[in-house]
Amino acid sequence: MKSENIILLICTVLSFFAVFAVNAVMVVIPSIAAEFHMSNIVQNWAIIIFLLVVAVLSVPAGQISGKYGLKKVTIISVVLFIIISIANVLVTNSEQFLICRLILGISLAFFNVTSMAMVVSAFPPQERGKALGIVITGVYIGLSLSPVLGGVLNYHLGWRSVVLFGVPFLLATLVLILTKVDEEWITFENVPLDIKGSVSYGIGMVLFMYGFTILNETLGVVLAVLGIMFLIVFGWIELRQAHPVFDIRFFKNRKFFSANFASLCAYLATFAVTTILNYHLQYIKGLDSQTAGIILLAAPLCQVVLAPIAGRLSDRYVPQILAAIGMGLGTVSLCLFAFLNEATSMEFLIVSMIIYGIGFGLFSPPNTNVIMSSVPPKDTSVASASVATMRTVGQALSLGILTLVFAFVMGDVPIVEQYYPLLISSCQITCLICVVLCVASVFASFVGIKSKKSV
């Protein structure tokens, strides 16, 4: 097998487990919540804390991996992920569980960035869209199998089996990296790390994203405003740095800016959908995790089929148009999800999920191709960090929107039958908010079409 194909295989496997670590746990969170007596707010935070860490570290991860080598950083992050996954099954309370999720997020932040950057570095521009489409297919296979595997494993063996599932596969991936990958891809060897920028960005993101989830309280408003101020300071620092951790001047490139903004809006609009559907199936419909996981397969299965096709099409046609069509379908699906209640038929739900899956399957590969192709080859790790950041910030804030709506509508309560009407109302309101964000993503996808040619 050619070296670039081995790299593609490695990065596709890493992409799969990056998704599995989030989505499989999302499906089994009711079981974890029952064991550790978590409230509805803490349940959501079991996912948000993971995504928050990834969002905070994705930007510095781009510079760090470019300085010390993509291969080396990938190895360290995979080893850390394996160790903490094993530790995670030994926890005895919700606090320990959240700490393990936090550390897992640290490792995921790095191999999220390095896997995408390795693919872009290994393949020439004319084959990049196809390769990225395959890697993103790994993401969608993860999205497809996570609910099913997570649900089945949890039903038969308990939630700890879900956490351990990826360990043998990541060990095999580690062996492949050590024995079959020779290139290190050091692009920032003589570039000093931007400590000031990284710290100001990290503080700003943590304050803003945590404050956002508790905006119903005065403390939340204060923290969110402080976070924005730190992010403004981050921008000021980056404009004056010779070697910034993230060169925000890239956003002057209309294609780069519009594709990143479209990605942010898309994940803001869609990520909470899986949680909403999972809660609907397990709480409102009373299904077990195994059955719910099988039903949740409908949307990501469509994404698996369409991702490589959309990747190839993005090499031949205007990728922004493909992305806009995809998010247009996503808008339709979210409008349908806004009608979910205890009387909703399973047929209606599955059709809505298929439309959602087709839409996002058409959106993501072309949009990622635009981002990765809009910067010089030496800056692919930065572009990869941007892709990871937009995705994880969008995902975390999407759950943040759901958590915020929960706080306003339900309060901090366990999800039990007496609160199911409030749960339905909360999910419907969240879907309507997400419709607006989907529309914003559609318009953003068109903005960069007339800008100068990508790199």
Q: Which two tokens stand for residue 258?
A: 């519009």
How long, in residues, is the chain? 455
Q: What is the pLDDT of residue 109?
A: 85
Q: Is 421 exposed, middle or buried (0-12, 13-18, 19+ CB in 10 A)?
A: middle
pLDDT band at 453 (very low <50, low <70, confident <90, very high): very low
From CA 147, how far away is CA 20, in angstroms rounded? Answer: 9
For residue 277, is pLDDT > 70?
A: yes
Question: pLDDT at position 223, please?
Answer: 94
Half-sphere exposure of 275 (CA within 13 A, CB side): 32
The pTM score is 0.74
Confidence category of residue 348, pLDDT binned at 50, 70, 90: very high
The model's pLDDT over 84-125, given as tens digits with 9 standing for 90+, comes to: 999 999 998 888 999 998 998 899 888 878 887 788 778 877
Quickly state the pLDDT bin for 308 (edges 50, 70, 90).
Answer: confident
Q: Where are the domains of the chain?
A: 3-194+241-447, 195-240
Distance CA 99, CA 141 (A): 28
How does pLDDT run across 294-306, given as a tens digit for each residue? 888 888 788 778 8
- CATH superfamily label, 3-194+241-447: MFS general substrate transporter like domains (1.20.1250.20)
Q: CA-CA distance, 107 to 378, in Å (whole number)?
A: 23
User: Residue 168 above 60 pLDDT?
Assistant: yes
The per-residue pLDDT for 82 is 93
Q: What percent of the chain has pLDDT over 70?
A: 96
Burial of 126 (0-12, 13-18, 19+ CB in 10 A): exposed
Averaged pLDDT, 330-350: 92
Residue 1: pLDDT above 70? no
Mean of the pLDDT values across residues 344-357? 92
* Number of CB atoms found within 10 A of residue 166's CB: 22
pLDDT band at 448 (very low <50, low <70, confident <90, very high): low
Q: Which tokens sit at 399?
A: 């759950």
**Taking 90 as the threshold, does the pLDDT of residue 80 lie above it?**
yes
**pLDDT surpassing 90 at residue 431:** yes
Angle at which helix 40-68 crosses helix 94-122, to 10 degrees, equals 40
Find the range with the poorest average confidence among 38-42, 312-316, 332-336. Answer: 312-316
Mean pLDDT of 237-257: 81
Q: Among 360-364, 376-380, 429-433, name the one with the lowest average pLDDT.
A: 376-380
Q: List, for residues 4-23, the tens digit of each pLDDT value.
A: 888 888 988 888 888 888 87
Inform me whether the pLDDT recorded for 452 exceeds 60: no
**pLDDT tens for each residue of 118-153:** 887 788 777 777 787 788 777 777 777 787 888 889
